[in-house]
Structure 1
Amino acid sequence: MAKATKKQALGRGLSALLNDPSNDIQSAEDKNADKVIGNIVDLDIDFIEVNPFQPRTNFSEESLRELASSIKELGIIQPITVRKLGLNKYQLVSGERRYRASKLLGLETITAYVRIANDQESLEMALVENIQRQDLDPIEIALSYQRLIDEINLTQEQMSERVGKKRSTIANYLRLLKLDPIIQTGMRDGFISMGHGRALITIEDQSIQLDIYEKILSNKLSVRDTEVLVRNYNNDETVAAPAKKEANTAMPNFVKTGISSFSEYFGHKIDVKVSKNGKGKITIPFHSEEDFNRIKKLVEGDSK
């Protein structure tokens, strides 16, 4: 908790800058604008208004209370995004559930990314520059990629060109955001590495993720040890699931040793089924049209 509080306090100097009437920043060309755009700032929660054009109007009380409880324990993992309307006046761009849950807790300040008016190009440049920094943890990088998708509407292909990273690298970072929030916090605080996270993400059940995460911490498991633990779990699951059908038998060794390579290459957990005569079927899942096209390009690239 101490580390999470320290991380959220990083924007206090910027907050003072924004609250100074003699230094009111209105555009990306103004003095000190570069110190604000793309950075995390602590804002007075009363200075923020909700977006009147927010399409979502119904928020579950129960889910907000659950989120508030999570924020109380872990802090806000992903800051909200606001745009500056004037001195000490901001409007939500994204993160209304986090904003509402924070108000429910009675928090006086909330961490936020500040956008200057609608200067989308400056925001994109700041985010790309932020990704290039050497001191970011994997979750911070993943969140920056996600913001480029949500707020700038960039595809993974376009991001690859902007930041000079392979599309598969970007996809691997984005997949970390599917980890349980507790594991994401552990990665941000340095308890586990990105390698641990990449191994855990092949398990969809977050309760199982947490079980293995606790074993990593208590037994000080290396990335290699974690990969073996996860592989054994996935193999057990793959073998156990089709055991009810007569056509499926125990998984052959060549499949057990090769399935993780398939999953890593395609960026998804790959399902393999094998019949008694040794014949089998490989299933590659996809989650969107963009994801399907990404896999298609991988296959087309290998066929050339």
Structure 2
Amino acid sequence: MSKKLLIGTGVALSLIFSPFSQAFAVDQTVGERKQVENVAHRGATGYAPENTIAAFDLAVDMKADYIEIDVQRSKDGKLVLIHDTTVDRTTDGTGKVGDLTFEQLRSLDAGSWKGEQFVGELILTFEEILDRYHGKIGILIELKAPELYPGIEEQVAEVLKERNLDKPQNEKIIIQSFNFESVKRVDQLLPQVPVGVLTSNRADTTFEALQEFSTYADWFNPSYGIVTEELVNQVHSQGMQIGSWTVRSQEAADFLLEMGVDAIISDYPDYVDPRN
């Protein structure tokens, strides 16, 4: 059973029996969109270079609920934000992230590939992002290829604990990974922090697989190409929430809203939230 299920059940029961619940239902606007968590994928990367201050600041301005970040580790042990396991695509450098020191990574231009207005954007540290954005916006932390960085789960957990971000009142922190063993390890280290499994594999959507995930995960986060209404219902029946990725079109956002997912991870936060 998901560690958040009991809390969620209590909240649900309180709403069912609340004298305000019926009035609330009546007052809802016809055609109003279901509330979902609007997650800016690596920041608002449709408009700014991924995993940079420019992208994260824009996500905050666009009223996203979360920013999603990718955490890896430099050769000398610094936790850094970058998606690919090499720097080639998103910087002016070359090489594997884990083969470069933090000083080498920090010297790279991580913005100009997206446009000349972003020249000088830097590869950021995990600590910098926590200090700059926690309290302003939720942070969805992806451990990227953790199998390349033994002990990264403990390192991430320690950084969060140093900032008291391992406590229940700070549930705007979520940790996820494609590496299920890594997710299990994080759940053991940070039992009060929600964790999620990422997948694009339909084999992970069976009843048996979802039941196994629910023993340690709070979120099941599949690619939108395998999302169905039945899957959403099955995930919910196991006490988990479902967040889907990566939305890069209005049609994809509308589809996921129709399916009733709990979070939409998008390069374009404005596709999810029409206020923008």
**TM-score bin (small chain):** under 0.3
Q: Counting helix residues as a fraction of each chain, which structure ranks higher? A: 1
Q: Counting strand residues as a fraction of each chain, which structure ranks higher? A: 2
The TM-score with structure 1 as length reference comes to 0.26
Rg (Cα) greater in structure = 1
Greater RCO, 1 or 2 (C-alpha within 8 Å, sep 6+): 2
